[in-house]
A and B are shown apart, each in its own frame.
Chain A
Amino acid sequence: DAKTTQPPSMDCAEGRAANLPCNHSTISGNEYVYWYRQIHSQGPQYIIHGLKNNETNEMASLIITEDRKSSTLILPHATLRDTAVYYCIVRVAGGSARQLTFGSGTQLTVLP
């Protein structure tokens, strides 16, 4: 699986967009980009995933560069409840490894 690199921490003002970057320069053509977050003392929460097209759901948008070597998760109007550790994962869909493994992620702090 491709390695991902994320900044260890970011701050964002409440009500503004939070843009969380992820580098995955060794991603291969059949690997998807997944985003999860984990609020302190809670279980991880699936956010969104994509292959090469940009994706949007009720929680966030995922922008993947044309060369697929990086992506950005966008929370359009961050709230205090969005404070969490955000994990970017690259995985082959249908691969034999079924378990999730998280790297160190980005600690997003939304400031009032």
Chain B
Amino acid sequence: DVKVTQSSRYLVKRTGEKVFLECVQDMDHENMFWYRQDPGLGLRLIYFSYDVKMKEKGDIPEGYSVSREKKERFSLILESASTNQTSMYLCASSHQLSSYEQYFGPGTRLTVT
């Protein structure tokens, strides 16, 4: 079974803090994704990575950065957290970039106060 794990299920941070969200997958997948999910807005892609040290912006990259130093790990960084970044953050991985067979982690519910 594909396992995608995320470092926290719930996180509360203050405005202006730097926030790190970690994601690890154990299936040797080349591709990893960070989404956020908000009521009424559905899933929105923040960044994705198709190889170690490679990354591409998704639809809403502003205010976020990512890091992929190892194949199994993809980190999302909020440089200076703001209240409009309160959301559910979902990490996913897939074997082929063209595939929509993506495997998701359990999500991190981030609240920025």
Please report whether the interface of chain B is mostly helix, strand, loop or mixed according to DSSP.
Answer: strand
Instruction: Please tell me if the beta carbons of A44 and B58 are within 8 angstroms of each other in the complex.
Output: no
Which residues from A are CB-within-8-Å of B103?
Answer: 46
Which one of B31, B91, B101 contacts A34 once the chains associate, using CB atoms below 8 Å? B101
Instruction: Please tell me if the beta carbons of B33 and A41 are within 8 angstroms of each other in the complex.
Output: no
Tell me which residues from 3 to 52 in chain A have a Cβ below 8 Å from any Cβ of chain B.
32, 34, 41-46, 49
Instruction: Please tell me if the beta carbons of A43 and B101 are within 8 angstroms of each other in the complex.
Output: no
B65 contacts A by Cβ under 8 Å: no
With A34-B101, A98-B98, A99-B33 given, is the CB distance from A44 to B43 under 8 Å?
yes
Instruction: Please tell me if the beta carbons of A49 and B90 are within 8 angstroms of each other in the complex.
Output: no
Q: How far is the CA of A19 from the CA of B94 in the complex (A)?
A: 27
**Complex: chain B residue closest to A42, CB-CB:** B106
Instruction: Please tell me if the beta carbons of B90 and A99 are within 8 angstroms of each other in the complex.
Output: no
Instruction: Please tell me if the beta carbons of B90 and A91 are within 8 angstroms of each other in the complex.
Output: no
Q: How far is the CA of A42 from the CA of B101 in the complex (A)?
A: 17
Which residues from B are CB-within-8-Å of A98?
Answer: 31, 33, 45, 48, 97-98
With A100-B43, A101-B42, A101-B43 given, is the CB distance from A91 to B100 under 8 Å?
yes
Contact residues of B with A, CB < 8 Å?
A: 4, 31, 33, 35, 42-45, 48, 58-59, 90-92, 97-107, 109
A-B contacts, 30 listed (Cβ < 8 Å)? A32-B100, A41-B107, A41-B109, A42-B106, A43-B4, A43-B90, A43-B92, A43-B106, A43-B107, A44-B102, A44-B104, A46-B101, A46-B102, A49-B100, A93-B98, A94-B98, A98-B48, A98-B97, A98-B98, A99-B35, A99-B45, A99-B48, A99-B58, A100-B92, A100-B100, A100-B102, A101-B42, A101-B43, A102-B43, A103-B42
